[in-house]
Amino acid sequence: MTRARWIGLFAVLLALAGCTEPAELDTSAPELLYEGPVGWSPELSPDGTYLAIPEGVSYGDDEAVDMLLLDMESGEITNLTQYNPLDGITQDARYPCWSPDGEYVYFIQVEGWDPIYSVCRIPSAGGDIETILTLPEARLLGVNGAGTELAFYYRDDNYSYHIGRYDLTSGGLTDVPGGDDLG
């Protein structure tokens, strides 16, 4: 893929994620809000009040990766997914991103020893996990500013990698132009 196509693809992904202006950086000393293992890209809520954290949770000798919410003001942690590896099914919650209104946390659920990747969402206030789409492999990249499309990196059944978008209204999956040249 040419450099120009990469730049164009990056611009499309930023637009899908609603990023149109550079962020102002706070250069003051950071405050420790959470101390613990953090993996698979924690994500700050749109209003900055919560941090969605995929974290390994131990159950004896077994471990699952649950989706936790950290209240940025109080430091209180809520476990949204509560996976239990002792039921014989391994499940992990990875790569969170928020709906623009903060009502949902979208994430990739990885299930089983021969993993199945599902694009899921759960209400940020807690509730049932909704499976939106299942793919052989996926990594969630973001939700557009209107909250109507998801962007993600995925592998198809032929082991080709793509950048796709999923329309939450119509249920349609399409490849981003240039995103099918990834290997």
Assess if residue 28 is contained within a domain: no
Average pLDDT over residues 123-129: 93
DSSP secondary structure string for all residues of 64-113: EEEEEEEETTT--EEESS---GGGS--EEEEEEEE-TTSSEEEEEEEETT
Assess if residue 116 is contained within a domain: yes
What is residue 115's predicted lDDT score, i.e. its pLDDT?
Answer: 80
What is residue 58's predicted lDDT score, i.e. its pLDDT?
Answer: 61
Tokens of 41: 């890209």
What is the value of pTM for the model shown? 0.74
Domain that holds residue 110: 3-16+37-175
Assess if residue 137 is contained within a domain: yes
Q: What is the CATH number of the domain that holds 135?
A: 2.120.10.30
pLDDT in tens, 138-159: 888 889 999 999 998 888 888 8
Assess if residue 153 is contained within a domain: yes
Assess if residue 30 is contained within a domain: no
pLDDT band (50, 70, 90) for residue 1: very low
Longest dimension (CA), the chain: 50
pLDDT in tens, 34-69: 555 555 578 899 999 999 988 776 656 566 778 889
Q: Give CA angle at 127 (124, 133), nearest 5°.
A: 85
Assess if residue 106 is contained within a domain: yes
Structural domain count of the chain: 1
